[in-house]
Structure 1
Amino acid sequence: MRVQPMPGVSVDIGEDGSLELRLDTAGRPRSYRCSPVRTAMWIALRQHDGDPAAAARILARQWGTALVDTRADLDRWVAELCDAGLARPAP
């Protein structure tokens, strides 16, 4: 399942290099500040058109971690983003 940002999600880079995802809606503004690991996950997802499998492969290779563990971490984080209304499965 590919994932994509919800329409209207903006991405800001902080002075410290952190990434912040924001969605300003009339009823409920949402914001999520990403750790360096989550920032790398976001970048990998966007570079691979929202494909978590491809993103996990590149991250595991770069980090020297087990693919199964990297994919599990990425899937948990994607689920958090979806639950927060910041991402959704791609159509």
Structure 2
Amino acid sequence: MKGREMRIVAESGVHTTIFDDGALLAVSRNGKVFRANPTAAAMWTAIAESDGDPERAAVSIANHYGIPQERARSDLTSLVGRLHDAQLIRWQP
């Protein structure tokens, strides 16, 4: 992940719908859809609730799942990479 000073921000036009079994992220500008499993949906929620701070999101994920913070950071980094590649998020100072 980027340094602590960077925030994760949803790209313009990304709309999220949370379901019991995950989430759906839809991009209005290009019609792309990203289906998130329950874990990825929890990570997306943690990002939003932490105001895009990746470290706070990782701590929240670790606490929620009872896993080491290192693992939460690693899992979050992987998801953030996929979301960035799909043009759903961007890094913002």
Q: CA deviation at 1:18?
A: 2.6
What percent of counterpart residues are identical?
35
Q: Which residue of 2 is the match for residue 9 of structure 1? A: 14
* Unaligned runs of at least 5 residues, structure 1: none
* TM-score with structure 2 setting the length: 0.85
| Aligned-partner SS, 1:73 | helix
Q: CA deviation at 1:17?
A: 4.5
Q: CA deviation at 1:11?
A: 1.0
Please report the RMSD computed on the Cα atoms of aligned residues, expressed in angstroms.
Answer: 1.4
Bigger radius of gyration among the two: 1
* TM-score with structure 1 setting the length: 0.87
Q: CA deviation at 1:84?
A: 0.4
Say whether 1:20 aligns with 2:45.
no
Q: CA deviation at 1:90?
A: 1.9
Q: CA deviation at 1:64?
A: 1.1
* Unaligned runs of at least 5 residues, structure 2: 1-5
Asked if the contact 2:22/2:40 (under 8 Å) is kept, the reply is no
How many residues align? The count is 88
1:17-73: CA deviation from partner (whole Å, max 9, x where unpaired): 431001032xx4211011000110011110000111101111112211111111011
Could you list the runs of 4 or more consecutive aligned residues of structure 1 that deviate by over 3 angstroms after TM superposition? none
Aligned letter for 1:33? R
| Aligned-partner SS, 1:43 | helix
